[in-house]
Structure 1
């Protein structure tokens, strides 16, 4: 979902389970905020259920190698293609290091009918990602659930009231529960 108009400076206040709130301030708008359970450091090929990939072993000595993965990435080092992947139960791609990855010498095939034995959605980790016109501006991860509000420019997020105050920036945003609490304290 898109938030704010061109020229606004959106403020995203977010909170992961059991943590205090954190603010991300964008200098450009509009923005899209996406919440998911996809781990960080993955590619567009990521699938939380897993899938099987097969590729020729180096120099064809062992036929084809088959592995069930959550994600994989091919990279070239000194003219040789290598593959790094997240195995079932893993949570991030390994470093793109030719000494800790497999060499590939041919096409990779994918079989999305084969899944990890105990497919999960990332072990309780939630990801909050902020985009501007398809470009990722910010991404963070924490323990699920995650909640967020977006304020555009000097406006308050939906469901909050703008109250003048002496502290910077000259106003504060309060939700209904905070207003009731202050009202009760004043009585």
Structure 2
């Protein structure tokens, strides 16, 4: 036999299910605006570009506080990477001005391969999509650690003693190099000058 408190809980649960939350609509709308912002060709403003990349990455991964939700976001990103991003994503990142075209063509996909994939209307390969996600993740992490995108971009393109005199951006071509850059960014977040 149901008690009064049990029926109250059931009513609350069913009411919660029936009412759409802003979380889902908000995330979807936020993702669309982040993609739209990346697609719009504008003069490069580092703060704007960084926030767009951070928005994109948070929406792709989820940016949730709880570990289980963050893992779910990481798995969702892994699925998208495995399926392949559209070639337009590379153009959007380049047109945002955040990442130099030279860097994108060296680290993610060559100019010729990108043109070929566009012509054949193919998606980026899983490897190319993974490299794109890796570059964007590090740029977002650098902005988070350093505070603003213009300083983060300078840091990524400047030789670094903690990385044996190498530029962080030059190490993003491999997973091991990326982890080294992320480790240095972690040190910066904890107040250790690097």
TM range (shorter): under 0.3
Structure ranking higher in strand proportion: 1
TM-score when normalising by structure 1: 0.22
Q: Choose between structure 1 and 2 for higher RCO, CA contacts under 8 A separated by at least 6 residues.
A: 1
Structure ranking higher in helix proportion: 2
Larger C-alpha radius of gyration, 1 or 2?
Answer: 1
TM-score when normalising by structure 2: 0.21
